[in-house]
Amino acid sequence: MSNSEILHVVTTIIQEVLELPDLNVTVNTSAADVDEWDSMTHIQLIAAIESKYKVRFALGELQALKNVGDMIELIQKKLNK
Amino acid sequence: MLFNSYSFIFAFLPLALIGYFTLNHLKQVSLAKTWLIAASLYFYTFYSFNNLPILAMSLLMNYFIGHSLHSELKWISKQNLFRFGLVFNIGLLSFFKYSGFLLPLGLSFFTLQQVAFLIDSYEGLAEEKSFLDYAVFVCFFPTLISGPIVHYQLLMPQIASKDNKRFNLDLFSTGIFVFCMGLVKKVLISEAFASWAKPGFDEATSLDLLAAWKTSLSYLFQLYYDFSGYTDMAIGIGYMFNVKLPQNFNSPFRSKSIIEFWSRWHMTLSQFINTYLFTPIVRAMPKITFKSTMFATFTAMFIAGIWHGAGMTFVVYGALHGFALVVNHMWKKRKKKLPPFMAWFLTFNFINITFVVFRAKDLVGAIKVLKGMFGFTGVVVPKVIVKSVGPLKDFGFKMGTYLQPTDYALIFMLFGAFYLIFKAKSSLELEKEFKPETKVAVACGLAFVFCFFGMNRITEFIYFNF
């Protein structure tokens, strides 16, 4: 799966979880840029991504995520395992 | 040993750096690491050797468990070994925190750092084969006693990197700059506020409105400049060793909500709590709902509160912040925003009030200060003000004494502190803009000279107690 495909899916998930249908998401978007993106919605996002791609992230991996780009890379890594 | 002492600045730190880079220069990599560990242990045991056995036990046990998690074991399953490791760490920490024994220096911090390592090892993210490297990770003296809490995966690649084994003048000067900022925060700002906070909390039997606010605001600034000063110094020393440590504060008092505050205050602890406590609690629930995440939020914050110590004050502090986070999330769900000033005002005062609980020796002491802050013990107006605004006495105000020079100093410092918080650049912003120019060197030198004279009455850092 290409990074842009993943970005497309992740964007939809983020828009749904944060309840912001018009949010513009790029690889550089991070939690700090979006007020609605806090610890609570973050865990919902992670859970939604995990169930969508049938992967499970390690706790330590979650802390290292700085932006959407990191998230896509992590998904890619899990899918290629 | 304290960062803000003559022996640290003039003897220990230079020797530690010279030894480390000389041995690395001579390609004695293992010796350089051994030197760093020896220096760290000297730093740790400078005042007393009593804590050394606890540090050694924790280090050896966690190394053994972490190492075993990556080998084939017949006598125990990996899951059980991992569970044993968690119980060992939490047990050790709880025993010293809550049994009334003296808390070994740094235990709260090096335990959390190793718990993160164990979890990461168990989940296959971290692996350590060399005991020497593991000992560097745990004992590294800039972070050993009060953080910032640093991950194995963040620290060790930096120590291992070939480029970082050479003395780097750019990073060294950045380090001196950041260290100086921390020194100013601790020696010039925090110590001054400490002298105004202490009498109100520890000596007075009752406080009137102005005295209570003077006490609580002084403590708020004392704590912030103490801990963020300590962190700046740790980060500065990290740079001198070519290591970039994680940020721990990001102008927390500019926060406009409690959720935001916890993403800016003691950040490495918040991140630890969020990653290794909040997330597993949520995952352990059958379904992620608003209620279940709120339960996890409250529980995680509550545990973060009592991590600070055994007193009822920490129970109340944790519960208040846990409750405030839940209320904050509920409010956020309604998607109505408070005006920015209002949001800041509520947040700042909530923090100030809960810090009173955090600081007081017991709940009675906290109530004493809070009663004063809410005006239950009357208002004593200084004579200068009464004269200029007329007969306030008729409205039940008591007449105080004339303002003393220390009162003027306090007023000046409070204005200064608020200015620093809102208008001035944070140490992080200053660090990013740092260039080794003459004027910066002069400023650092002057700041250092001022601090030099303030350091003859060296005091401990508040977070050494947690």
Q: Quick check: ipTM above 0.85?
A: yes
Report residue B336's pLDDT band, with 50, 70 and 90 as the boundaries: confident
Contacts A–B by Cβ distance under 8 A: 52
Q: Are the CB atoms for B115 and A50 separated by under 8 Å?
A: no
Alpha-carbon gap, residue A59 to B263, rounded angstroms? 18
Q: Is B25 one of the catalytic residues?
A: no
Looking at the predicted structure, is the pLDDT value of residue B215 above 80? yes
Please say if the pLDDT value at position B378 is more than 90.
Answer: no
Burial class of residue A81, CB neighbours in 10 A (0-12, 13-18, 19+): exposed
pLDDT at position B388 is 58
pLDDT band at residue B393 using 50, 70 and 90 as cut-offs: low
Q: Residue B398: enclosing H or E segment and its boundaries?
A: strand B398-399
For residue B203, the surrounding DSSP H or E stretch is: none
A47 has a chain B CB within 8 A of its CB: yes
More confident residue, B72 or B355: B355
Are residues B125 and A38, on separate chains, in Cβ contact within 8 Å? no
With contact defined as beta carbons under 8 Å apart, do B421 and B254 qualify? yes
Cβ contacts of residue B111 below 8 Å, gap of 6+? B58, B89, B92, B93
User: The tokens of B223 are what?
Assistant: 């704590």
Model confidence at B202: pLDDT above 80: yes
Tens digit of each residue's pLDDT (9 = 90 or more) over B287-298 = 899 999 999 999
Q: By C-alpha distance, which of A75, A23, A66, A22 is closest to A48?
A: A75
Predicted confidence at residue B309, as pLDDT, reads 87
So what's the pLDDT on residue B425?
Answer: 86
Question: What's chain A's average pLDDT?
Answer: 91
Asked if the Cβ–Cβ distance from A61 to B125 is below 8 Å, we say yes
**Beta-carbon separation of A59 and B259 below 8 A:** no
Quote the minimal CA–CA distance from A56 to chain B in Å. Answer: 11
A4-40 confidence digits (pLDDT tens):
999 999 999 999 999 999 999 999 999 888 988 988 8
Share of chain B above pLDDT 70, in %: 96
Q: Do A60 and B119 touch (CB under 8 A)?
A: yes
What's chain B's average pLDDT?
91
CB B239 within 8 A of CB B139: no
The alpha-helical segments, DSSP class H, found in B150-289 are: 152-160, 169-183, 191-198, 209-240, 258-262, 267-273, 279-284
B151, B266, B308, B321: which is the annotated catalytic residue?
B308
Query: Radius of gyration of chain B from Cα atoms?
Result: 24
Inter-chain CB proximity A39 and B120 less than 8 Å: no
Confidence of residue B396 (pLDDT cuts 50, 70, 90): low
**Which chain B residues touch A64 with a CB distance below 8 Å?**
153
Range B415-441 average pLDDT: 88
**Looking at chain A, which residue has its C-alpha nearest residue B270?**
A39
Question: What is residue A14's predicted lDDT score, i.e. its pLDDT?
Answer: 94
Peptide bond preceding B382 in cis form (omega within 30 of 0): no
Q: At residue B100, does pLDDT exceed 90? A: no
Contact A16/B at CB under 8 A: no
Greater confidence (B41 vs A64) lies with B41
Predicted confidence band at B450 (pLDDT cuts at 50, 70, 90)? confident
pLDDT in tens, B102-125: 889 999 999 999 999 999 999 988
Any B CB within 8 A of A62 CB = yes
Q: What pLDDT digit, counting tens, does each position of B303-318 carry?
A: 999 999 888 999 999 9
- At residue B455, the pLDDT reads 79
Q: Tell whether B126 is within 8 A of chain A (Cβ).
A: yes
φ, ψ for residue A54, nearest 5 deg: 55, 45
Q: What is the pLDDT of residues B152-178, one digit of tens each?
A: 999 999 999 999 999 999 999 999 999
| Minimum-distance CB partner of B125 among A39, A47, A60 | A60
State the pLDDT confidence band at B382, using cuts at 50, 70 and 90: confident
Q: DSSP character for B377?
A: T
Q: Which residues of A touch B263 (CB under 8 A)?
A: 38
The whole-angstrom separation of Cα B441 and Cα B436 is 7
What is the pTM (predicted TM-score) of this model? 0.92
pLDDT-derived band at B249 (thresholds 50, 70, 90) equals very high
> What pLDDT was estimated at residue B414?
93
* pLDDT at residue B258 greater than cutoff 80: yes
What's the whole-number mean pLDDT along residues B17-43? 96
Separation of alpha carbons B53 and B244, rounded Å: 29
Strands annotated E in A1-81: none
Quote the pLDDT of residue B197. Answer: 93
Does the beta-carbon distance from B259 to A39 stay under 8 Å?
yes
String of DSSP letters for B177-189? HHHHHHHIIIIII
